[in-house]
């Protein structure tokens, strides 16, 4: 589906990368590839049954600067174990990615849906958000 869309715009995929450069075909901010990379998300609705014994429920949205150096499980475990202020957890993930020497820009958003540790239940409200970003200087990425 994405490969067909890419070819229809005049682009190509080489080794699974848009024009042999970017590892995805939907992205924000990759201005040099704007003719081939779209920001329109692929959306899927999924029903998730919540276990009443869960103390924290959250969603982590991050770019590959985090995922290149940390597994999904590591990020989830880190957020689940977080005891600081909710709004600081995304910065902690960014800092950890930098500590692990990520070679890409890092942006992280953590949406808290439920945090029984703090007596916060946002399941019927807007989620509380924690966000952070770090830009890696170009000379470091080479």
Query: Domain-by-domain residue ranges, the chain?
Result: 2-33, 56-141
The pLDDT tens digits for 80-109 are 999 998 889 999 999 999 999 998 889 999
Total-model pTM: 0.67
E-assigned strand segments in the chain: 13-14, 17-18, 56-62, 106-115, 120-121, 128-134
Confidence class of residue 34 from pLDDT cuts 50, 70 and 90?
confident
17-18 and 13-14 strand pairing: antiparallel
The pLDDT tens digits for 46-82 are 887 777 777 788 999 998 899 999 999 999 999 999 9
pLDDT reported for residue 30: 66
- List the beta bridge partners of residue 59: 111
pLDDT reported for residue 93: 96
Round to the nearest angstrom and report the end-to-end CA distance of the chain: 32
CA-nearest of 66, 56, 126 to 100 is 66
Does residue 120 surpass a pLDDT of 70? no
């Amino acid at each position: 589906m994405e490969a067909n869309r890419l070819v229809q715009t005049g682009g190509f995929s080489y080794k699974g990368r848009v024009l042999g450069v970017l590892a995805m075909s939907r992205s924000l901010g990759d201005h040099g590839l704007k003719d081939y990379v779209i920001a329109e998300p692929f959306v899927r609705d999924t029903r998730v049954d919540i276990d009443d014994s869960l103390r924290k429920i959250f969603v982590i949205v991050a770019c590959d600067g985090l995922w290149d150096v940390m597994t999904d499980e590591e990020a989830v475990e880190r957020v689940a174990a977080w005891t600081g202020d909710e709004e600081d957890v995304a910065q902690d993930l960014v800092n950890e990615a930098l500590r692990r020497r990520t070679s890409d820009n890092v942006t992280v958003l953590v949406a808290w849906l439920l945090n029984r540790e703090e007596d916060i239940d946002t399941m019927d409200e807007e989620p509380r958000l924690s966000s952070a970003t770090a830009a890696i200087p170009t000379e470091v990425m080479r």
